[in-house]
Amino acid sequence: MPSYTSFEELDCWQRCRDVRIWVESFIHTNINKGDFDMIQNIRRAARSTTRNIAEGFGRFHYKENIQYCRISRGSLFEIKDDLICCLDEKKAIRTEVQEGLNLISKAVHSVNGYIKYLESKIK
C-alpha cells in the first residue's frame, strides 16, 4: 500500500467527495427551497463525510484517524436515511435517489477498506 501524503489521495475521500457533489445537485433539483431542515441536514452530513476524513488524516495517529473515518461512515448512513425520507415524503422518486445510494455504497465500502488499512498499521 502506498504512503499517502495528502488526504486528497485517499480513495475514500474521493468517493465521499463524489457523494457530496451529488448531494448538492440533488438538493438543487429535488428539494423545495423552503424545506430548510432537510437541506441543512443532508448538506451538513455530506460535508461531514469529507471533512472527517481530512481531519482524521491530519491527526497522524492511526486510532484517531480510524475514529474520524467511523464518523464519516456514520454521516454516509445519515445521508442514506435522508434520501429514504425524501422518498417517503414524495420529494423524489426512486430513480432520482438510486444514483446517490450507489455512490454512498461505494463510499462506505472505500471507507471500510481504509479503516482496515489503518487497523493493520496498529498491529
Which cell is 85 given? 425520507
**Per-residue pLDDT at 6:** 94
What number is the average pLDDT over the span 7-25? 98
What number is the average pLDDT over the span 87-115? 96
**Per-residue pLDDT at 56:** 97
Contact between 52 and 69 (Cβ < 8 Å): yes
CA 55/CA 116 separation, integer angstroms: 18
Q: What is the pTM of this model?
A: 0.94
**Per-residue pLDDT at 2:** 59
**Per-residue pLDDT at 116:** 97
Burial of 20 (0-12, 13-18, 19+ CB in 10 A): buried
What number is the average pLDDT over the span 79-108? 96
Q: Which residues, in sequence order, are CB contacts of 45 under 8 Å at separation 6+?
A: 75, 76, 78, 79, 82
Would you say residue 1 has pLDDT above 60? no
